[in-house]
Structure 1
Amino acid sequence: MTTIAASWLDWAEPRLFTDDRNIAVLLIGACIFALTLAVPAVKRGGRTLVTVVHEAGHAVVGIACGRRFQGFVVQRDMSGHAVTKGKPTGPGRILTTWAGYPAPALLGAFLVVGALNGWSKAIVIVTIVALIGLLVMSRSVRTVLVILGSALVFAALWQLGDRIQVGALAQAGVVAGIGLILLIGAWTSLQDVARTRDREQDHFTLAALTRMPSWMWILTWLLVDLAASAWAVRVAFDAVA
């Protein structure tokens, strides 16, 4: 029992860094994000990750609202679709539909803040557990491969934190980089959905479920993205100032 408690405390204990190390964490994170701009395969992986988090946002909020999460898929074009069962109208359906687009921004900001506050190891463990849950709910071969690949990346990241001398620093930097990919990816997704005329997109569905026009729902996502970005920037500035 003592061993289990010690192991729990070991991964949950924050690893706080000095200002110089926080700068290094941000630099590593920025380099990882830069890869998504320079390397097409990495860019595609980043966009797929944003899609996974988007669909997970629908699922988590749907479950919290009493709906049944039946599974999700990631398409070849990096779009996705999550299925929850419940009442076709009402607050639960509205919140579930709304939750997808702000999810990457909120999680991305949290990863950046967590990396700078020494919680990267705990974040990695929780992410692995969440990905295992998503793996069970994957409903296509492509989706299984995407989630399994993501889980393996985070498992390697977990080992990285313990196996090399600067592992904790590198781990925090990678977590921050993934956070940046999600945070900036949320803005890209918002820009794309604001331009689309596809009536099956979430803001049109929300407009049909409520009396609010579709542009007002886009505005709510914009405000969440702004708040998440401001939070991450403020914490990053405080960490290196």
Structure 2
Amino acid sequence: MDKFWAHLIKVQPDPDPWVVVVSALVALVIVGFRMPWQLSRGLITIAHEGGHALMALLTRRKLEGIRLHSDTSGVTLTRGRPTGPGMVLTALAGYLAPPLLGLGAAWLTEQGRITVLIWGVLLLLVCMLLLIRNLYGALILLVTGGAVFALIMYAPADIQQVVALVAVWFLLFGGIRPIIELQHKRRRRQARDSDADQLARLTFLPGGFYVFFFLLVSVASVVFGAYLMNPL
């Protein structure tokens, strides 16, 4: 345990500036182009549904499970009062989870806590696996968790650092695109049960306000995350 703790809290040296820049460009390409985005969007869905689940637990709602679907959508099932602060906070947490998780990961990266970050991601995936209620969702989490575990066990420290940087940028950039896609669907009236529209029914504010709020938090997270990881 002493050796594991020493390994866990070990501080890695700062990456070279070009590594930070290239990792940001790689993440931007993944998010910006259709094919890589379709292949990786499910990771953002995992963070999104994890945000709903965590907030449901924090607000003492009964969490019944999480489902992840092959079209990269997902749903978190909870029970409790259909209105009130707990329901509002649970609905708010989904779109805010990926950028805020990316911001927290950016802070850990800036502190050189890459090992803590990777083990933390693995722990979150294991916790979500216990809540999954469909086969596809379990398969996706097992594959993702297996890849993270292999990274921990077999990849050298510099490779872990590069992968962590790409993942941090991906969470930051990837938190913005689903919000833009959400607004496009709302304009075509194809997202009547979206988080923003549910919040509009729960409160006196329109759905467009919540879309703007999601976008504001996501952009602010990118700005602060970039500031933390600024190679200069």
Q: How many residues align?
A: 228
| CA pair 96-127 structure 1, distance change in 2 beyond 3 A | same
Report whether the alignment pairs 1:178 with 2:167.
yes
Q: Contact between 1:25 and 1:169, CA under 8 Å: does it hold in 2?
A: no
Question: Contact conserved, 2:47 with 2:98, CA < 8 A, in 1?
Answer: yes
Tell me the CA shift for residue 109 of structure 1: 2.6
SS at match of 2:142: helix
Query: Are 1:10 and 2:3 counterparts?
Result: no
Tell me which residue corresponds to 1:164: none
Q: SS at 2:164's partner residue?
A: helix
81-90 or 142-151, which moves further after superposition? 81-90
Identity across the alignment (%): 25
Bigger shift: residues 99-108 or 112-121: 112-121
Q: Structure 1: state its 5+ residue gaps.
A: 162-166
TM-score between both structures, scaled by the size of structure 2: 0.90
What displacement does 1:148 show? 0.4
Q: Contact between 1:116 and 1:172, CA under 8 Å: does it hold in 2? A: no
What is the Cα deviation at residue 159 of structure 1? 1.7
What corresponds to 1:189 in structure 2? 178
- Partner in structure 2 of residue 231 of structure 1: 224
| 1-structure distance, mates of 2:128, 2:9 | 23
Shift of 1:140: 1.0
Does the 8 Å contact 1:105/1:229 carry over to 2? yes
Is the Cα contact below 8 Å between 2:7 and 2:115 reproduced in 1?
A: no
TM-score (norm 1): 0.87
Output one character per residue of 1:136-181: Cα deviation in whole Å (capped at 9) or x when no partner.
Answer: 11111110110001101110111245xxxxx222211111111222
CA shift for structure 1 position 44:
2.9
Relative distance call for 1:63 and 1:86 in structure 2 (3 A) is same
Q: What SS does structure 2 have at the residue aligned with 1:190?
A: helix
| Displacement of 1:28 | 4.0
**Structure 1 residue 16 displacement after superposition:** 2.8
Q: Which residue of 2 aligns with 1:23?
A: 18
Q: Structure 2: which 5+ residue stretches go unaligned? A: none
Point out the more displaced range, 146-155 or 5-14. 5-14
Q: Residue type of the partner of 1:199? A: R
- Structure 2 residue identity aligned to 1:12: I
Is structure 2 residue 134 aligned with structure 1 residue 140? yes
Distance 2:74 2:115 in 1: 28
How far the C-alpha of 1:29 sits from its partner, in A, is 5.2
Secondary structure at the residue paired with 2:76?
strand
Counterpart in 2 of 1:200?
193
